[in-house]
Amino acid sequence: MKRLVSDTLVIAERNLVRLPRAPDLLLAFTVQPIMFLLLFVYVFGGAIVTPGYSNYVDFLLPGIIVQNIAFGGFVTAVGLNEDLSKGLIDRFRSLPMSRPAVLAGRTLADVATNALSMTILLVTGLTIGFRFDAGLLEIAGGVVLLLLFGYAFSWVFAWLGLLVSSPESANSVGFIAVFPLTFISSAFVPVDSMPSALQWFAEANPFTVVVDAMRALWLGAPAGNSIWGAFVWTFVIMAIFAPLAVAVYRSAAGGK
Amino acid sequence: MSQPTKQNESIRRYAASDQSAIVVEGLVKHFGGVKALDGVDLDVKTGSVLGLLGPNGAGKTTAVRVLTTLLKPDSGSVKVAGLDVVDDAAALREQIGLAGQYAAVDENLTGRENLTMVGRLYGMKRREAQARADELLDRFELDEAANRPANTYSGGMRRRLDLADALVAKPAILFLDEPTTGLDPRSRLALWGTIEELVAEGTTVLLTTQYLDEADRLADRIAVIDHGKVVADGTSDELKDRVGGERLEVKLDDDGFNQRAIEILGSMSDEDPFVEGESVKLTVRERRGAIVEAVQKLNEAGIGIDDIGLRRPTLDEVFLSLTGHALETEDDETQEDGK
């Protein structure tokens, strides 16, 4: 157990140290979220009606942060796939280290990068007019929910990254699988503006549940069951995909 | 368990005993319907070097992966440093180092960061791991590149870093899977020198190779592997002896006497001598005294000799006669056995 913790920290540190040396990844965490936020607010913002919100940036920011943080895990998909194809997983497996630490350290590093991109989005949002309507406790609760949700999606991406054959396909499969999910939700537009079949899907979509919970926590929007629902969804996703990722890791790495 | 001092003890312990460092009996491994290893037996004495020689797809990499606990055997018994690869896998990993075909280093980390990470994953404290990293960087002449990301390294430097990774915990037993495949001749020679140093320090080495000269130079014993089976096992000399006796080659002052020489020397061989190039050649029945006997016979007949010598068969010829096909030497062995 002690080794699990210390080895996890070593692997997490390794993944964070290498990040600034891969400029494309660093851009994905810094410039890209700012770009999306500004494009949505200033290009679509004027055309989207969001009853109950004083302006579009208030409505959008929780949604775009949730989308962004769900995608934070794609570094895990690409990174694990690279480690596998370049033989680093073999190296790790030949060492007397804790075996789950390879995945645990990888996903832990995502929490740090997710916190970074969340901060960047939040600061940008506050600059262009986003205002909290909540106490410190609710704001902190929202941050915790975001980081947990991002962590759960790291396991989804870990599973995807170990399934596919190359880092490139890890990237595109992850994008194709998750991108529509984030759009057919309440993240960017009110759900009742969609055609009815999509509405049905959007309302059941965990993204909608989490985004609504964020709006409840940060903006005092009516929450219904969505705050509890959001935490439940987060743990359900983790409970399904963490064991799946571990199972695929074991067989992908050589059947042990 | 991972202090270097402990590792030194284990090296001494194995060096002091006659115990075999690696014992493999009846190892079988399938991938789906394909039998990658079909009853492999190996015995590597402590402190010695075994060369596992075979063409692409022979099962070399699969064998190394089983021996280093990366793959579970389907059947058979595999013991490394006296530890079972299945039951004692965790303890076994503390005794071994592995350098693979791919030069498995993190390209975005510097040489020093790579080595420090591996040290810490062996359970060393950060300080201790850094000190060990510096030692190895110095030894492998990577100290100047120590703080550059590994993706700026040449192929030879990457291999050296990979080998250094494998040596972080001063393992008693080292596995090298095609350590020089894809290297230029100079880097290859340098790496051979390093491996010889490690062996001189008492490390047991199992190396796979598809290069005969590599096996010939580094290995105390060679196991020839083909289609998942060990088809021959012995020292380089023993293997060459198996192929047939030594070949006597005589160049005469005057090749007009070649036919006469064939008649005179015929009694020394089971087959008829023949002329090839400028020399009369025959496979001798008995190595010892063959040259003296030939010189005497030719002298008595008054035939002058320009040059005479015994030549051993090459490992190439050995391989051909054992397996019925030549050893390929392309460098395209990337996914010999799949994952």
Asked if B123's CB is within 8 angstroms of A256's CB, the reply is no
Q: According to the model, what pLDDT value does residue B244 have?
A: 67
> In this predicted complex, what is the ipTM?
0.87
In a shared domain, residues B195 and B289: no
Asked if A95's CB is within 8 angstroms of B72's CB, the reply is no
- CATH code of the domain containing B277: 3.30.70.980
Domain boundary among B219, B240, B261: B240
Query: Is any Cβ of chain A less than 8 angstroms from the Cβ of B339?
Result: yes
Domain ranges of chain A: 2-42+55-252
Counting residues of chain A whose pLDDT is more than 90, the rounded percentage is 60
In a shared domain, residues B44 and B59: yes
Q: Is residue B213 part of a domain?
A: yes
Q: Is residue B102 part of a domain?
A: no
The three-state DSSP-derived secondary structure of chain B is CCCHHHHHHHHHHHHHCCCEEEEEEEEEEEECCEEEEEEEEEEEECCCEEEEECCCCCCHHHHHHHHCCCCCCCEEEEEECCEECCCCHHHHHCCEEEECCCCCCCCCCEHHHHHHHHHHHCCCCHHHHHHHHHHHHHHCCCHHHCCCEHHHCCHHHHHHHHHHHHHCCCCCEEEEECCCCCCCHHHHHHHHHHHHHHHHCCCEEEEEECCHHHHHHHCCEEEEEECCEEEEEECHHHHHHHHCCCEEEEEECCHHHHHHHHHHHHHHCCCCCEEECCEEEEECCCCCCHHHHHHHHHHHCCCCEEEEEEECCCHHHHHHHHHCCCCCCCCCCCCCCCC
Domain count, chain B: 2
A252: chain B residues, CB-CB within 8 Å: 339
Q: According to the model, what pLDDT value does residue A9 have?
A: 95
Q: What is the least distance, in Å, from the CA of A168 to any CA of chain B?
A: 17
Q: What is the least distance, in Å, from the CA of A111 to any CA of chain B?
A: 20
- Rounded Cα distance, B116 and B303, in Å: 70
Domain boundary among B206, B223, B240: B240
**What is the tens place of the pLDDT at every residue in A55-105?**
899 999 999 999 999 988 888 998 999 998 888 998 999 999 988 899 999
Chosen from A94, A99, A165, A251 to mutate, greatest number of chain B CBs within 10 A: A94
In a shared domain, residues B91 and B189: yes
Q: According to the model, what pLDDT value does residue B103 have?
A: 66
Q: What is the least distance, in Å, from the CA of A25 to any CA of chain B?
A: 12
Counting residues of chain A whose pLDDT is more than 70, the rounded percentage is 98
Query: pLDDT class for B4, splitting at 50, 70, 90?
Result: very low
> Mean pLDDT across the stretch B122-145?
94
**Neighbouring C-alpha atoms within 13 Å toward the C-beta of A224:** 11
Q: According to the model, what pLDDT value does residue A30 have?
A: 83
Q: According to the model, what pLDDT value does residue A214 have?
A: 94
- Structural domain of B25: 4-95+171-240
In a shared domain, residues B74 and B202: yes
Q: Is residue B292 part of a domain?
A: yes
In a shared domain, residues B197 and B294: no
- CATH code of the domain containing B42: 3.40.50.300
B1: chain A residues, CB-CB within 8 Å: 96
**What is the tens place of the pLDDT at every residue in A188-224?**
999 989 999 999 999 889 999 999 999 999 998 876 7
Whether residue A74 contacts residue A176, with contact meaning beta carbons closer than 8 Å, is answered with: no
**What is the tens place of the pLDDT at every residue in A145-199?**
999 999 999 999 999 999 988 888 888 888 888 888 999 999 999 998 999 999 9
Residue B77's DSSP bridge partners are: B25
> Mean pLDDT across the stretch A21-41?
86
Q: Which residue of A has its CA nearest to B113?
A: A14
> Mean pLDDT across the stretch B98-114?
88
> Mean pLDDT across the stretch B205-221?
90
Tokens in use for A33?
């979220």
- Rounded Cα distance, B264 and B300, in Å: 10
